[in-house]
Amino acid sequence: MKFLNSPRQPFVGLSLAAAIGIAVGDLFPLDGAALIVATIVLAIAITIVACKPSLVATYAVVGVSFFLLHKLETTNTAGQQLADELGDRSRIVTAIGCVITEPKTAPSGFATFLLKLKSIEFEGRKQPTCAVWQVRWKGAPEFGDEPELFGTAELIAPPRNPGEFDMRSYLARHDVRRVLFVRYSEDGALIRHGGGNQVLRLAQKSRTWIQNTICRGLQNAPEVQNFLSGIVLGVRHQTPEDIEEPFQQTGTLHLFAVAGLHVGIVAALLWMLAMVARLSRKSAAAIIIPLLFFYAAVTGLHVSSLRAAVMSSILLGGLFFERKVFVLNSLAAAAFFLLCWNINELFSTGFQLSFAVVAAIILFADLFAEFLQRWTAADPFLPRVLLRGPRRWMHAAFERICRGAGVSLAAWLGSLPFVLWYFHIITPISLVANLIVVPIAFVILAIALLSIFSTPILTGIGLIFNNANWLLATFVMAIVQILARVPGGHFYVEQPHWPEKLAANITVLDVGAGAAVHLQTGRSNWLFDCGNERSYQRVVREYLHWAGINRLSGLLLSHGDALHLGGAAQLLDDFPRLHVIDNAAPDHSGAHRRVQRLFREHGIKLDNLSAGDSFPLSREITAHVLFPPRTLSSPTADDEAYVIGLVVTPASRILFMSDSGVKTEQALLGSGLNLQSDIIIKGQHHSGESASDAFLDATRPRLIIATSRDFPASERLNDAWVENLRKRGIKLFRQDETGAVILRFHRDNWEAQSYVTGEIFRSSSH
């Protein structure tokens, strides 16, 4: 805490004042008159500071200045003006602009990038604009290119499920209000090649060359290539989620974000080269500082790399100007300059995590290290010179371990609030993982830099360095995989909320034409279906993390449709001990057979239930299988889907229909069962026919939650059927409009809420 008592740290106050001004400006909207008043207040404050300088007045001026700057940059922007003109629907447009970010190409062939528009043409009108749009195009543009694109300007969709990343809010922070979807490669043409900022173009070409250099000779190890590209250059979009997930669970994902470790190694190597070349300290500092910023540009100009480059430059600048530099003041200066560059960085996860972690290390690492060293310190009355041999080495090793542990603990505590808020995870194992992995990562980065320097001179030596990194990278990934499986090493925590005493909480996720329903009752958590592989990765897994689910009580697979059970393999990786209830009706689904084989390989016994069977969801609630009977055989999987009846409270009944159609409904009507239900949760039968009038008469639901998609046509709700529900007084939540639907069951009533629209339907509604 000695840093706080230092008198020469002006940037600490300046950066705090700037952050407060931006945050206040974001929280409180002001009209034109209020902005004029704020400007007058700023002018008065500047006058007071000029006449009678004071610290408080200076901070007030900085805070009000950043408040106004935030308002000016976020009010009536070019992106918002163009979005208002286009309206709240998709439009066919022709756009000309400049590619201002490096395109990222997905496996589907679509390249995603930001385009700064020069002009746009729609409805026969062409007009200039400087708005920025996100573009998806099956072309091969480069940074700085100027293309002409014909496509659909689409609204940016909000998140449709709890736990999903809010891309719309993220892009809105950068004044990106539309996505231009260019379906075919021939719908775009390059007008000019090689434009844009030449320094950034050189940096990106250098990144490509460096990536090829450090990965040369490793063509048969794509995972290692992705790992090295991430750790050396911060290239994360090429890294599969199954590699990143263990690093996140062990708190070592920061290795893929170029930050102080990376910039520090580069600065140290450049300093060593400068000393070998017998340069003076001033000359070395003058050369190294721009090179550090170029390295930050090569790695993508991320906040963490810029922060490290600014801090290193300030520290080196102290040598140049022969002034003492305080580390905390350097950190605050980096924050202040980055906010001057882009005020919206304050709201980015990278900015908050980067500065919180480094601030915690500066303030608390030494305190934690000193505390830990008390347990291993030698006798204080014994002079250190008398320590000899192994005992001296042992104490030196313990001191280094304590310093490393102090840094690891401080970094973990500094990041904990933000990791909890954004990623819903706590990683105690990171205290151990970072002690093991970070030193190895230091060596990997150093060897990669040696490969970069040696390859142009001696190609063979570069290959030797790359193979050495292959060994180290393989070892690191293996260690991280092992640590990620340590019981209690990580666990997910749901976001804080006001506690409710519920009989059950059911979330019907929106996964397109498939299905995934989470049932939480008491301490039990069940999944009815899990979506396909893609929807499990992007929706179901993220939702389970958001909900703080660390253990699933069971999984029910309704029928052999890949859209309902294709994600089971990945679910099994995340939750290896599962109680699985599988539909035993014979089908022709290859996806179903693969899943069954996978469960058998993992020693999981499948419960094959049929009509008349039941299974407990919790001590209070039991689910009843209403269909299919054990002897049923049908050529269509939809006609064999499970129908599950559930009595949540004496006054609340639910019917899970999956993709059942009219044939299943006729069988249920002929069974003599009491089908009356308050809520029906259903998908769409492949024929497009389900929930017939006779079935609605028998079930008399208050609410129906139904999937609906435009393609194929059978997955879209029939307009006549929707109108029929309205006439019957049945509330319909169609998931193409509502997104996920959350059902909350109290003892005497229940309510359903749409995640997208926020609409609430209660059992007491008429």
Tens-digit pLDDT profile for residues 64-92: 888 888 888 888 889 999 999 998 889 99
Rounded to whole angstroms, what are the CA distances from 405 to 248, 371, 425?
A: 19, 11, 21
Q: Tell me: pLDDT of 28 over 60.
A: yes
C-alpha to C-alpha distance for 20 and 16, rounded to whole angstroms = 6
Whether residue 683 sits in one domain with residue 580 = yes
Question: How many domains does the structure of the chain reveal?
Answer: 5
Which tops the pLDDT comparison, 359 or 150? 150
Candidates 513, 508, 507, 511; CA nearest to 708 is 513
Mean pLDDT of 111-134: 92
Predicted pLDDT at 3:
44
- 587 and 733 within one domain: yes
* pLDDT for residue 320: 59
Q: Phi/psi of residue 118, each to 5°?
A: -105, -35
| pLDDT level of residue 1 (50, 70, 90 thresholds) | very low
- The answer to whether residue 493 is domain-embedded is no
Backbone angles phi, psi at 113, to 5 degrees: -160, 170
442 and 544 in a single domain? The answer is: no
- Categorize the per-residue pLDDT at 688 as very low, low, confident or very high, splitting at 50, 70 and 90: confident
Has residue 313 been placed in a domain?
Answer: yes
The pLDDT, as a whole number, for residue 318 is 65
132 and 180 in a common domain: yes
Among residues 74, 89, 113, which one ends one of the domains? 74
Beta bridge pairs of residue 751: 744, 762
Q: Is residue 529 domain-shared with residue 566, that is, in the same domain? A: yes
Q: Which residues pair with 555 in a beta bridge?
A: 527, 580
Q: Which residues span the domain enclosing 436?
A: 203-361+427-484
Structure tokens at 508: 């019907």
**pLDDT score at 743:** 96
| Torsion sign over Cα 354, 359, 362, 365 | negative
pLDDT for the residue 744: 95
Same structural domain, 670 and 608? yes
* 496: in domain: no
* Mean pLDDT estimate for the chain: 86
pLDDT average, residue stretch 9-31: 84
Residue 148 has a pLDDT of: 93
Q: Which two tokens stand for residue 505?
A: 């909480």
- Residues 341 and 271 reside in one and the same domain: yes
- Write down which residue in 145, 179, 196 finishes a domain: 196
pLDDT at residue 19 is higher than 60: yes
The pLDDT confidence band at residue 407, using thresholds 50, 70 and 90, is confident
Is there a domain that residue 388 lies in? yes
Share of the chain above pLDDT 70, in %: 91
**Are residues 653 and 752 part of one domain?**
yes
- For the stretch 501-527, pLDDT in tens is 888 999 999 999 999 999 999 889 999
Instruction: Give me the CATH number covering residue 567.
Output: 3.60.15.10
- What mean pLDDT is predicted for residues 551-567? 93
d(CA 13, CA 481): 42
Is 295 a domain residue?
A: yes
- Same domain flag for 310 and 214: yes
Residue 735 lies in a domain: yes
Q: Residue 8's pLDDT is what? A: 65
Same domain? 552 vs 679: yes
233 and 168: one domain? no
pLDDT of residue 377: 60
> What is the reported pLDDT for 389?
62
Domain membership flag for residue 379: yes
Asked which of 74, 107, 131 is the last residue of a domain, the reply is: 74
Using CA atoms, how far apart are residues 681 and 183, in angstroms rounded to an integer?
34
Is the separation of the CB atoms in 147 and 139 below 8 Å?
yes
Same domain membership, residue 450 and residue 310: yes
Residue 25 is assigned to a structural domain of this protein: yes
CB 176 within 8 A of CB 83: no
Quick one: pLDDT at residue 376? Answer: 61
Per-residue pLDDT tens over the stretch 597-632: 999 888 898 899 999 999 999 888 899 999 999 888
What tens digit of pLDDT does each residue of 439-455 get?
888 888 888 888 888 88
| Cβ within 8 Å of residue 559, ≥6 positions away | 583, 585, 587, 592, 637, 638, 640, 641, 642, 658, 659
pLDDT score of 391: 62
Question: pLDDT, tens digit, for every residue of 237-289?
Answer: 555 566 778 888 888 887 777 666 677 777 877 888 888 888 887 788 888 88
Separation between Cα atoms, residue 530 and residue 658, nearest integer Å: 12
Q: Which of 207-211, 407-411, 534-538 has the highest mean pLDDT?
A: 534-538
Residue with more model confidence, 137 or 59: 137
* Lowest-pLDDT range of 369-373, 476-480, 513-517, 646-650: 369-373
pLDDT at position 475: 93
Residue 33 confidence (pLDDT) above 70: no
